[in-house]
Structure 1
C-alpha cells in the first residue's frame, strides 16, 4: 500500500466514477482502476461495487475511505508546514470562496491583498460552501471565506464583515415606490430563491420565515444573475446581497432596489483549521479583508436605484 493509492480511493469516493476520479488525479482510468483493485487485494475486502452507471462504496469501502481521508489530510498539512518554513508572504495560499460572494467581493479585495502581500500567490477556488468545507477539512484548501455559522470545532473563524440584504422588485411592482421598507411589508409575498444546496438560499429562507413571506417554489435559480433576470422580466421579487448591487455591477432600469429600515444581513468569516501551520499568516490575511470599507456591505438607495443586468454569474 502506498499513499498514492489512498489519494485514488478518496478521489473515487468523491466522484463515484472511475473516469472522473482518474482525471482529478491526473492519471489514466486503467491506472486508477488497477491500483484500486490492488488495494482491495492487499486489504482482502471489496471496497467498491462496480456497475456501468455508478461506482458505490461497500461498507468496508466507506470505513477505508474515512481513514484514507484523515491520512491524506495529515500528509497535506505536513506538506503545508514544510512549505511555510520558507517566507510566508512569498508562498501560495489556497483560498476558497462561495460563488454568490466571489465575483462581487474579489474585485475589491484582491487589489488590497496584492498591495499588502505583493509576493503572495493567491490561489482562488470558487465552490459551494459544503464543498469548500470538505476540502478545508481534507487539507486541500488553506482557508475559506464562508457565511456563518460554521459548525465544526476543528475550524477557527475570523469574522470579516456583515453584509446587508436588499429587496429587488420589478419596476411596476406595488412595493417599487416604497421607502423605508419594513420586514412585515414582505408578509405573504412569494420570493424567487436559488436552488437547494446554496447557502444564500438558506439565508433568504430564514428572512422569509421572519417576515411571513414564502418561496415561489415553481422556479429556482442556479445563480444570482438568473434571479436578477427573472425579476427584470416581472416574474417575481428576490433578496440580493449588498455587494451584488455595487459597482462594477451595472444597474438595470427594469429593477427597483429597496433598502430595509433594519436590514437583514449575513455574517461572513474566514475559516481555517485550528492546527494549520498558517494560523498567524491567515490572521493577517483576514485583516486585509476586514479592513475593506464598511460602506461596501451596506445599501443606500440613490436617485435612480437599480440593480445589475450584466453582473457576474454565481452559483453559491
Structure 2
C-alpha cells in the first residue's frame, strides 16, 4: 500500500509549483532549501513516481503526473484548512485573519467607507487586503492564497460561488464644453459616434463599459487606454474623449482635481458589485454575513457633482 503524503510534503510541492524556484519555495515554507528538496524526494519515493523532470532546465519542470499531484495537493490542503476554519467559525465567527482581494475600480473608492464599518461590526476580524485585476484575484482564490473577493459582476469565476450586493450604475463623463454636457439622460446612440476612452485590457470595467454602450471590443481599437480611473478622468478633462464612470468611483472622489460634466444614462446600465468565494467553502456562511455591512457602506452616497 502506498504511504500517504504528509501535509508538509504537499505544502513543499505546491510552494515549488507556485514559486518556480527551490530557494523561493523554501523561504515561503520557512525551511532550508535542502529540507524542501529532501521532502519532495521523499514524496517521490513514497509515491514511486517522478514528480519533477530533473534535466538541464534551471527551473523546476514537473512531469505530467507531477502536475496532477500538484493540483490534487492544492485541493487536499484547502480541505485541511477548511477543517480548522469550521472549528474557528463555530467558536468565533468573523474573527481572525481574512484575506480579501479587491479590484482597483472598487477598492480605493469603497474601502475608506467600508473599513470603519467592519471594524465596528467585527472588532476581532483581521482583514488582509490585496488589490488586483479580476483574473489575477480569481487565480489566487482558486489556489487558496485568498479567501474572499470583492469585485464586479458578471465575471468569469470558475469554481466559485457569488453573492450579489448592490448595483453600481454608470455615469457618462464628458468634457465641460462637450455638446452633450447639458443634456439629460444619454442613450447608447448618443455615445455611438464619440471617442470612448477605456481602461487598458484586463480591467473588467472595460468590458462592462462596452457592454453598457452595446459595443464590441473592436470599438476600442486604436484608442490609447488608461491605466486607472483617475488617469481616465484626466484624459476626459483634457478633451480627448468621453468615458463611463461607476457611480461608486464618483462618490469616492475620482473627480478630484478635474473639471468635467456627468450625465446619467438611459435605462441606468452598470455593473453589479458582489462577493465571491470558493465553492463549498466552510466559511460561506461567514462570508455571506459580510453582505450587510458592505451594503451599508455602499448605501451612504456622497453628493455627485453636477
Same fold (TM over 0.5): yes
How far 1:293 sits from its partner (Å)? 5.2
Contact 2:110 2:298 in 1 (8 A): no
Structure with max Cα Rg: 2
Task: Please tell me whether residue 219 in structure 1 is matched to residue 244 in structure 2.
Answer: no
- Aligned with 2:289: secondary structure? helix
1:1-316 matches, cutoff 5 A? 1-18=5-22, 20-27=24-31, 32-33=36-37, 35-40=39-44, 42-43=46-47, 44-47=49-52, 51-52=57-58, 55-149=60-154, 155-210=160-215, 214-249=219-254, 251-292=256-297, 294=299, 296=301, 301-302=305-306
How far 1:227 sits from its partner (Å)? 2.2
Equivalent residue pairs, number:
300
Unaligned stretches of 5+ in structure 2?
none
For 1:89 and 1:134, the matched residues in 2 are separated by: 24
Farther off after superposition, 277-286 or 264-273: 277-286
For 2:252 and 2:22, the matched residues in 1 are separated by: 44
Q: Cα–Cα, structure 1 residues 280 and 63, in superposed 2: closer, same or farther, change >3 Å?
A: closer
Q: Cα–Cα, structure 1 residues 101 and 82, in superposed 2: closer, same or farther, change >3 Å?
A: same
Q: TM-score, length-normalised on structure 1?
A: 0.79
Q: Cα–Cα, structure 1 residues 208 and 5, in superposed 2: closer, same or farther, change >3 Å?
A: farther
For 1:163 and 1:103, the matched residues in 2 are separated by: 15
Q: Cα–Cα, structure 1 residues 212 and 136, in superposed 2: closer, same or farther, change >3 Å?
A: closer
How far 1:163 sits from its partner (Å)? 0.2
Q: Cα–Cα, structure 1 residues 205 and 247, in superposed 2: closer, same or farther, change >3 Å?
A: closer
Alignment RMSD (CA, Å): 3.2
Contact 1:188 1:213 in 2 (8 A): no
For 1:239 and 1:50, the matched residues in 2 are separated by: 52
For 2:109 and 2:136, the matched residues in 1 are separated by: 20
Q: Cα–Cα, structure 1 residues 33 and 87, in superposed 2: closer, same or farther, change >3 Å?
A: same
Contact 1:193 1:216 in 2 (8 A): no
How far 1:162 sits from its partner (Å)? 0.5
- More strand per residue: 1 or 2? 1
Q: TM-score, length-normalised on structure 2?
A: 0.81
Unaligned stretches of 5+ in structure 1?
303-316
For 1:212 and 1:173, the matched residues in 2 are separated by: 25
How far 1:167 sits from its partner (Å)? 2.2
For 2:237 and 2:258, the matched residues in 1 are separated by: 8
For 1:198 and 1:277, the matched residues in 2 are separated by: 30
